[in-house]
Chains A and B, each alone.
Chain A
Amino acid sequence: MRLIVCVDERGGLLFNKRRQSRDRVLNMRILELSQGARLLVSPYSAKLFEGADNLVISEEPSKEAGALDFYFMEDKGYSLSDCEEIYLFNWNRHYPSDVKLDLDCKKAGFRLESTREFAGSSHEKITEEHYVKE
């Protein structure tokens, strides 16, 4: 499974059961990454990718994702046991959060493969970090 997560500059993920932010350009990037594979999401995340051919909506996306599948994680949990890659996006903004991403990729045994930055549709700079399991 290849995990995709978006956080703010303090590792925040959600506030009041809602995503902190969204960005159309980032959504396109996720679809680009997952091209040719399945993109698993929870029902809550599905609206972001309406119409995508490779979209799979699941109540338990982490369990259902196969080795080559991508899982865009927002409101459901994740497991690293079958995770080979992590794409960690940072909004580079400070938003409120009451749920943070409890994940240190390097401590979890992943090495940073690449980093890139790009402008989103409503975010000046989004950082993408690609981690690969060692």
Chain B
Amino acid sequence: MKNTFHGLQKGATRFSLLCLLLSLLLIFTACELPFDFSGLGGGGNDGTTIEGTYDGPAFVTLNENTPTFTAGELTVVAYETYGSLDSLGRCTTVIACCGQELMPAKDEKRGSISSVKPSGWVQAPYDFVDGGFLYNRCHLIGWQLTAENANKKNLITGTKYLNIEGMLPFENMIADYIRETDNHVMYRVTPIYNGNNLLPSGVQMEAYSVEDEGDGICFNIFCYNIQPGVTIDYATGKSHASNGDMKLPAIPDALKPDSVPDFSTDVGGGSADSGNTETGGGSTEGGAGGEAGQTATYILNTNTKRIHLPSCSSAADMAEHNKKEHTGDITELLAQGYRTCGVCMK
């Protein structure tokens, strides 16, 4: 395990003050700011098949977007630690206290990483994927943060979509924050595997800016290792062009995903088996699927603010803490900002 320390050249006075600050942080609590914004969230899934073209979120938030670093883990001394490969040759958790000390020099060039063959590396060409190939060697800790090149403990097999749409924006946010503030960001990236799969289902990314106690950077998310239009066998890394059988990989409950399966606006073509016909849309007897001015029963996703019929597959997959049953006039819900599911209520 590599474990390097940098940043000792920082002034002792500054360090002492920060240690004092951190010592007051006895319990690491959710990093709240004094205003309220309704986030848009994203859709989670538990192996749900996606029909049509996936245009959904590249990530979902976990644990109310709050990382789980303990007070003892927080430090302003820059370091990077890369976990050993497991018995299947898979990357494990990497953790770093990111600071300018670890970032590449201004004119530093990236080194080659093509010698590394991460677990599940079964490369495949697809003309609709930007760059022509499905997989990238994805840095767990991005090069722009720690300048690591061909470190096999830091490179996983990840789709182009995971790399560019999922992980890169978060790395950009951290890197630019550090450059601008000269602060440090605790950063942990954990590849998540289902059983003995060689390909990770995705990566959990946690980050927390230390000096300002999460005021600048604070998140806990899961990025899907998926590629729209491609069905992936996560056991091996093999793939084929999707014929309506693309799946979002499952997120373990232990990660506490905040959002739930809800592809009503993400799925091109919709679902053929969750329509209104079985539920009696427009019922006047208090059944499901009522029209404006009529009483009906709906299942609400309080996280995504979406209205579903009780028979909708998304309602069945919904996390219990986001699910709420409502019987009444749909106009009341629309007035509260809810929108109808594009699949079961279109």
Interface residues of chain A, those whose CB is within 8 Å of chain B, are: 14-18, 20-24, 42-44, 75-76, 93-96, 98-100, 121-123
Contacts of A18 in B (CB 8 A): 33, 215-218
Q: Is the CB of B37 within 8 A of A17?
A: yes
A15-B33 CB under 8 A given contacts A96-B173, A98-B39, A99-B40: no
> Which of the residues B32, B36, B169, B176 comes within 8 Å of A96, measured between beta carbons?
B169
A95-B173 CB under 8 A given contacts A16-B218, A18-B217: yes
Contacts of A22 in B (CB 8 A): 177, 180-181
User: How close is B173's CB to chain A, nearest CB, in angstroms?
Assistant: 5
User: Per-residue CB proximity of B173-188 to A under 8 Å, as 1/0?
Assistant: 1001101110000000
User: How close is B52's CB to chain A, nearest CB, in angstroms?
Assistant: 22
Interface extent on B, as a size class? 20 to 34
User: How close is A67's CB to chain B, nearest CB, in angstroms?
Assistant: 26
A20-B173 CB under 8 A given contacts A44-B35, A99-B37, A99-B40: yes
User: How close is A74's CB to chain B, nearest CB, in angstroms?
Assistant: 10
User: How close is B114's CB to chain A, nearest CB, in angstroms?
Assistant: 25
Question: B297 interface residue, CB < 8 Å from A?
Answer: no
Chief secondary structure at chain B's binding surface? mixed
Q: Is the CB of A96 within 8 A of B219?
A: yes
User: How close is B176's CB to chain A, nearest CB, in angstroms?
Assistant: 5
Contacts of A20 in B (CB 8 A): 173
Q: Is the CB of A21 within 8 A of B177?
A: yes
User: How close is B85's CB to chain A, nearest CB, in angstroms?
Assistant: 29
User: How close is B27's CB to chain A, nearest CB, in angstroms?
Assistant: 20
User: How close is B241's CB to chain A, nearest CB, in angstroms?
Assistant: 26
User: Per-residue CB proximity of B24-54 to A under 8 Å, as 1/0?
Assistant: 0000000011111101110000000000000
A98-B33 CB under 8 A given contacts A93-B172, A122-B176, A122-B179: no
Question: B135 interface residue, CB < 8 Å from A?
Answer: no
Q: Is the CB of A93 within 8 A of B39?
A: no
